[in-house]
Amino acid sequence: MSSLPSLSSDDETFLRALVKTSRQRTIHVKWTDRDGTARLTALLPAEATRVNTLARAARISSEALLCAASCLPAGLKAPAPSLPTEPGFGS
């Protein structure tokens, strides 16, 4: 076993989570994207459970759920806050 150079606690936490995730069994879901591209998505058990729960509630397959989700609009960033202007400045 090799030793790592001294790492920050954030780096250690990241690496531990990465190793833990890589040791979990993944569930692969084949589905078709909205543009007709065949996709294969690897889900962790908790993600697969949530996808299956959502699909069951919608009475569709997990593949159909992911296809429908691909049509959702991308999350938009909040507009940058406008800077207050001083009276008489820039007007």
Q: Average pLDDT for consecutive 10-residue bins of the chain (91 residues)?
A: 79 91 90 94 93 97 94 75 58 47
Residue 79 lies in a domain: no
List the domain range (segments joined by +) for residue 43. 21-69
Task: Establish if 74 belongs to a structural domain.
Answer: no
Which of 25, 79, 77, 74 has its CA nearest to residue 48?
Answer: 25
Please tell me the distance from the alpha carbon of residue 51 to that of residue 57, in angstroms, as a whole number: 10
Residue 50 within any structural domain of the chain: yes
φ, ψ for residue 59, nearest 5 deg: 60, 45
In 1-91, the DSSP E strands lie at: 27-32, 38-43
Query: Tell me, what's the pLDDT at 91?
Result: 47
Residue 72 is predicted with a pLDDT of 87
pLDDT given for residue 42 in this prediction: 92
Cα-trace Rg, the chain: 22
Domain count, the chain: 1
- 47 belongs to a structural domain: yes
